[in-house]
Amino acid sequence: MEIDKERQKKARAYARKRRHVTLINMGGVSAGLLIILITRWDAGLRDLVRAGTRIGWVSHTLPFLQWQPLAGWYPWQILLYFLAIILFYQLLATPALVYGSFILPRRYGISIQTLSGWISDVGKNFVLNLGLEAAAISLIYGLLALQPQWWWLWTALAMLFFSVVMANLAPILIFPLFYKFKPLPAGKLTERLIKLAASADTRVQGVFTMQMSNKTTATNAALMGLGNTRRIVLGDTMTDRYSEDEIEVVLAHELGHHVHHDIWKMIVSQSILTLGGLYLANLALHQAVEQQGHYQSLTDPATLPFFFLLTALFSLIVMPVGNIYSRHMEYQADEYALQMTQKVDAFKSAMRRLANQNLTEISPSPLVEFLFHSHPSVKRRLQHADTFAEKRYSSLKASLNMPRRVAVSSSEPPGIVNNGSSTPRSAH
């Protein structure tokens, strides 16, 4: 399998347009938040929400909207404010969402999903994220009211716990909402992959296929879950066109993440970054409330746009740092796959086939790779495989050329070289 030059032309154009959509979306949302802050619509929306909850029939029908566990903390009003901000965000982001995740992938032949199917997935994703984000906001502002100096630490610990729980439950609760899974039929490939996992001291609940073919022409494979939910997952767009050797090296890469404890490393590293971001947000919020007097209190709903902008800016700044660490882990997983299987040709063939199928740009600019890519470029991964092969060849050549010594006998003086011995020492 070689790189398809025509598909590479499409891949470069596709990657460029996706970056443009991402940057426009990020810029539009950031500009929207800045406008809210500069024009003081943040305070105006707060006043509107509070006035709405005091309307006679509203306060009579929905009295819980006035619930105030602590002075200045109105949990339900914060959620109403949050909902208004989210709807504003969706209004700004919808054009980029439609173009970037539906029109553009279909134009380049990556997506084959129907409009109704796409709307269904977007809707489920929106509802799921809305629920999780609402719970997170409720937690954060509850801690701001109860622990105004240490809320950032407790929030980071809660998010760490949530990350671990979700890593365990996602394969059985989240992913099935979007894809159908079924066990890979018993046979040579299944046995081979189970054996491969066992050789890496990895217990899995089985090998499953993920139905991707009704949505995309791209493919993927993963080792999903933690503990009792860990399983091998192959896209059905992989099992029908990749050789068993290619599938084996792809899975060996995923097993490399497990052997190196990369899931835990990623959870911990992300938690550390989150902790740092929340601490900086804590300083900025206290400054804005206590020194600048921009808000009535730390739990003022009007602080939400300010908080969102702070977290967005911090995420943008640290994204390259997270990507550097991620690329390092991916490099190590590639090395593990090559060491474990010794199948350099299958590794290179799988990388090329993935690039062709997924319309992946094999050699992005160094700046783009540094800023946006969580994986090494395909070109670097192929070079890694070539370097591995050269080292293996050099090591083998050196071993074959190494003089071999035999045990001292009465007919040979100590230390004599015997290159013709048929019983080389075990060290060789």
Q: Is residue 399 part of a domain?
A: no
Q: Is residue 413 part of a domain?
A: no
* pLDDT above 70 (res 414): no
Q: What are the pLDDT digits (tens) for 227-275? A: 899 999 999 999 989 999 999 999 999 999 999 999 999 999 999 999 9
2 annotated as a binding-site residue: no
Q: Is residue 406 part of a domain?
A: no
Q: Is residue 394 part of a domain?
A: no
Q: How many domains does the chain have?
A: 1
Report which secondary-structure segment, H or E, holds 278.
helix 262-286
3-state helix, strand, coil in the chain (%, to 5): 70, 5, 25
Q: Which domain holds residue 225?
A: 5-388
20 annotated as a binding-site residue: no
Helices 41-53, 303-341: crossing angle, 10 deg rounding:
110
Which residue, 112, 339, 70, 61, is CA-closest to 215? 112
Q: What are the pLDDT digits (tens) for 8-40? A: 999 999 999 999 999 999 898 889 999 999 999
286 annotated as a binding-site residue: no
The phi, psi pair for 231, rounded to 5°, reads: -150, 155
Q: Is residue 419 part of a domain?
A: no
Q: Looking at residue 53, what is its pLDDT? A: 86
Q: Is residue 60 part of a domain?
A: yes
Q: Is residue 417 part of a domain?
A: no
Q: Measuring CA to CA, how many Å separate 67 from each of 73, 317, 343, 345, 361?
A: 8, 38, 64, 66, 54
Q: Is residue 132 part of a domain?
A: yes
Cite the active site residues: 254, 334
